[in-house]
Structure 1
Amino acid sequence: MLPPTPRLPEARALIEMDRYFVLHAPRQTGKTTILDALASELTAERDIAALSFSCERAKIFSDDIAATETILLDSLRRAADLSGWSGELLPPDSWPEEQAGTRFGKALSAWCRRCPRRVVLFLDEIDALQGESLISILNQLRDGHNIRSKGYPFPASVVLCGLRDLREYKVASGGAPDRFNVASPFNIIRKSLRLGDFTTDQIAELYGQHTQATGQEFNKDAVDRVFELTQGQPWLVNALADEIITEMGATGTIGDEQVEEAKERLIRARATHLDALVARLREPRVERVIEPILAGTWPDTDSSFDDDVSYVHDLGLIRGTRDLEIANPIYREILLRVLGNRTERFVKADPHSFVLPDGRFDLPRLLQEFVVFWREHGEVLIRQEGYHEAACQIILMAFLHRLVNGGGQLDREYAAGTKRLDVLVRWPYTGPEGERLTQREAMELKVWRAGENDPLPDGLMQLDRYLDRLTLTTGALVIFNRRPEAPPWKERGAFEQATTPSGRQVTVLRV
């Protein structure tokens, strides 16, 4: 693992200043591991007794304050008993008997009164607390914080750690998300830190530890490809390496080819973390943010939408809160595959029938088959698709995935406001001399919506730029007609040839 301080430099400074603050990050980014490491690091310096414990066991006691306090104090004691500390640093043998709603704070005070060091407390999985229990615990922390200056023994620093940013805790505890108020449990907190993803150098450092232990190297191409695919998401960075070494049993130096294979295996396996992530896609708050990203449209923005964007960012599904993009290429791939599952069940064509005698992939025939599929199933699938604005993109991607994924790969690029979805088909085959070659086919998806002009001119310009970036001489532009005056379904599917602004000859399909 990577050392905690370089990943959280501000945390040490805030703890030294006896501050209370929030640390948040998506699931499987290393929060718990880094808290345990930071607690050990601080305690080893002999001025602080730092302890991290989980609130998750209290999850089932939403409004039962007494039960929540009992579980939290039991979890705290268990963490202390497992810490290996000397007896003088441990909490008292029994917690003081106090009425519900005050017991947690009084117990912390009793511990701090007997501990010869400053106590620093990390409340991990604070998200588990809800309703009245969350309000009570936060109020007790606030009250203890506010009377420390009068000599009241209480933890010097408290860190609330979970998925959510500060504004989400305020909403969950009944406060307004956009301002601090006197009654808010958060009026003692002025800082909210987000645990960042790995940089390329940090991935190299992490993999370098494997090299030191085993002698097996990850070359620079492998490290760069891992960063490109994951954007440094810690679980994915570790999962790719584990897939390569443990599941694939790779020997010798690891390169980008093994990384590519591991990526495909990881997506197909749909590990627990990835399943938990995609399960969020049907939440209304998540759908409201993800749908315009898939559709390439600009969302209707208001204050509640900003809250939803922050929430989806906290989940780790999007990269930032300003430019709406999926967090990394692996998530981008999984989202479309999951949303296209329903469509894939309708695709009956044999993938092997699209392979030409020379081993290349017959993309023109695939597009012709899609026209037949669209005329027969498109109307039904659009009505069934929850992400209605992005239904066309989801359906075509599912069709492509079903027929290409057996021997090739799909790369997809999309983001809110782009009004397009870019697709690259990569198909490996053997050349006439036995050499390994890769066929690349690019296409762009556009949607013609009600009240808009024909997207053909913009589509040709955008496809031109995409082909230029890929150094390809031709491609395909698919335009979906979603206007009320569109032709009947049985008449859709016209092919034509067009010329891009730079003079490339491309195929245009209108469906």
Structure 2
Amino acid sequence: MDRYIVLHAPRQTGKTTVLDALASGLTAEGDTAALMISCERAKSAGDDVGWAESLLLDSLREAADLSGWPKKLLPPDSWPQVTPGSRFGAALREWCRRCPRRVVLFLDEIDALQGNSLVSVLGQLRDGHNKRSKGYPFPASVVLCGLRDLRDYKVASGGEPGRSNPASPFNIIADSLRLGDFTADQIAELYDQHTQATGQEFTKDAVDRVFELTQGQPWLVNALAHEITFKMGVTGSISDGQVEDAKERLIRARATHLDSLAARLHEPRVKRVMEPIVSGDFPRAELTFSDDLSYVRDLGLIKQKPPMEVANPIYREVILRVLGDVSEQYVRADPHSFVLPDGRFDLTAATSTANTPPEPNGSTSSFAGRTGALTAKG
């Protein structure tokens, strides 16, 4: 493993778990010292490069101290005293110079670095990488792990996303990998581990419904199972109906992951992509749309391949509820009056309500019509 790689995926998809297991496995082979550190602490430094470097090096030392490695593999007791903006690279060089094994570094939550701090760290990694052929001690491999794909790092480091830029730190990246979602078979295998441990079975219909609702998004797959087995306290075999109940509970409770997703909808670059999808309109032709689309895909809000669709039914319902929340407050009619006896949505009644003229007190039923449209598209 001698390459520098970007690993990206939406939040709470298992990136940290994968990297931690990979670091442990590489170190156990005996010729590598592989360490994972989180960059999240350095977020508070903003553009203060020196402070960001100090926080990163503190995280590196703590991770090494907790690794249980013999002293000969650990970083030096003190870091080289060099100019801020060079400290991170100099520290890695000194560690690699002393370590009898090749060093591999996983930088988790690299997205936490901001502005000049991000540019500086990326530049130092590039500089060290390019000097390795001259005998310069530096990590044999670095993996940058976060939400962003390669094009966003190029922009952050001063390059243009669609062009080769010799000055970009990311002409050293060999590959950009995305951590995938679970397949239906993998969900069945995961849930079978619960069955083996407890004897409680998920029926095939339940597993199929989980896949249908989540499209394999790892956090949702685990959250539904946790909701059913622990919070709902279901005993005996688990059915698709209980999966449906768990889905409603998660959405109503706005669990942390779903709440974070909802907050993203207010970002301008997210709204530019999501609003046309929800309304069924064609997006405005803007120069930034391709970058916005890539960003929203990296967040996991929409599917990875055309046509543009919300990533899964649970996300779609959360998005529709968030975007329709204001409108819903003005709906005077009983929502159940728009539902036919067979459970289908009564589009004729909704359209009639939408065309009702404004009422004298200033409130207007057009809000109800908008909410009806949102629900119909969900």
Please give the range of the TM-score, normalised by the shorter of the 2 chains: over 0.9
Kept in 2: contact 1:230–1:330 (CA 8 A): yes
Residue from 392, 395, 400 that aligns with 2:371: 395
Secondary structure (helix, strand or coil) at the match of 2:165 reads coil
- CA distance in structure 1 between the partners assigned to 2:154 and 2:70 by the alignment: 37
2:356 corresponds to which of 375, 387, 404: 375
Structure-to-structure mapping, 1:28-427, within 5 angstroms: 28-301=12-285, 303-350=287-334, 367-368=348-349, 371-372=352-353, 374-376=355-357, 394-397=370-373, 421=377
The answer on whether the counterparts of 1:24 and 1:163 sit within 8 Å (CA) in structure 2 is yes
Q: Is 2:297–2:303's contact at 8 Å kept on the other side of the alignment? A: yes
Percent identical among aligned pairs is: 68
1:118-162 deviation per Cα after TM superposition (whole angstroms, max 9, x unaligned): 111011111111211111111110111011111111100001111
Contact (CA 8 Å) 1:130, 1:173: kept in 2 or not?
A: no
Output the amino acid matched with 2:47: D
The answer to whether the Cα contact below 8 Å between 2:43 and 2:113 also exists between their aligned partners in 1 is yes
Indicate if the aligned counterparts of 2:303 and 2:309 stay in contact, CA closer than 8 A.
yes
2:49 and 2:85 in contact (8 A); partners too: yes
In 1, Cα distance between equivalents of 2:250 and 2:303: 21
SS of 1:375's partner is coil
Q: Determine if contact 2:200/2:237 at 8 Å carries over to the other structure.
A: yes
User: Partners of 1:194 and 1:354 in 2: how far apart?
Assistant: 42
Query: One-letter code of the match for 1:211?
Result: T
Deviation at 1:75, TM superposition (A): 0.4
Greater percentage in helix: 2
Deviations 1:447-505 (A, max 9, x none): xxxxxxxxxxxxxxxxxxxxxxxxxxxxxxxxxxxxxxxxxxxxxxxxxxxxxxxxxxx
For 1:327 and 1:320, the matched residues in 2 are separated by 8
C-alpha distance 138-354 of structure 1, shift in aligned 2 (>3 A): closer
In 2 relative to 1, CA 363–281 (structure 1 residues): closer, same or farther, beyond 3 Å?
closer
Alpha carbons of structure 1 residues 141 and 251: separation in structure 2 relative to 1, 3 Å: same
Residues matched between the structures, number: 376
Taking a change above 3 Å as real, the CA distance of residues 306 and 380 of structure 1, as seen in their structure-2 partners, is farther
- Distance in 1 (CA, whole Å) between partners of 2:267 and 2:80 is 42
Unaligned runs of 5+ in 2: none
8 Å CA contact 2:356–2:365 kept in 1: the answer is no
Distance 1:65 1:372, change over 3 A: closer
TM-score (normalised: structure 1): 0.69
* Rounded Cα–Cα distance in structure 2 between residues aligned with 1:352 and 1:322: 34
**One-letter amino acid matched to 1:112:** C
Change (3 A) 1:74 1:266: same
The 8 Å contact of residues 319 and 326 in structure 1, kept in 2 or not, is answered as: yes
Q: 1:352 to 1:150 in 2, by over 3 A?
A: closer
Change (3 A) 1:377 1:231: farther
Deviations 1:350-376 (CA, angstroms, capped at 9, x unpaired): 4577899xx877976x95476346414
Contact residue 119 and residue 157 of structure 2 kept, 8 A: yes
Between structure 1 and structure 2, the one with the greater Rg is 1
1:305 maps to a residue whose letter is: F
Instruction: Provide the rounded CA distance (Å) in 1 between the counterparts of 2:186 and 2:141.
Output: 28
Structure 1 residues 381 and 330, CA gap change in structure 2 (3 angstroms): farther
- The amino acid of 2:158's aligned partner reads G
From the superposition, tell whether residues 39 and 371 of structure 1 become closer, same or farther in structure 2 (CA, over 3 Å).
same
* Alpha carbons 2:357, 2:364 under 8 Å: kept: no
RMSD between superposed Cα atoms in Å: 2.5
Tell whether the 8 Å contact from 2:338 to 2:350 is kept in structure 1 after alignment.
no
- Once the two structures are TM-superposed, the CA of residue 305 in structure 1 deviates from its matched residue by 1.0
Preserved CA contact (<8 Å) 1:180 1:186: no
1:210-249, Cα deviation, whole Å (9 max, x unpaired): 1121111112211111111100000000000000001110
Alignment partner of 1:177: what SS?
A: coil
For 2:335 and 2:120, the matched residues in 1 are separated by: 59
Are the structure 2 counterparts of residues 80 and 374 from structure 1 closer, same or farther at C-alpha, using a change threshold of 3 Å? farther
Change (3 A) 1:84 1:344: same
Aligned to 1:190, what secondary structure does the other structure show? strand
Q: Measure, in 2, the Cα distance between the counterparts of 1:381 and 1:320.
A: 38
> Relative contact order (alpha carbons < 8 A, sep ≥ 6): 1 or 2 greater?
2
SS across alignment from 2:177: strand
2:350–2:372 contact (8 Å) kept in structure 1? no
AA matched with 1:375: T
Shift of 1:349: 3.3
Secondary structure at 2:84's aligned position in 1?
coil
Higher strand proportion (structure 1 or 2): 1
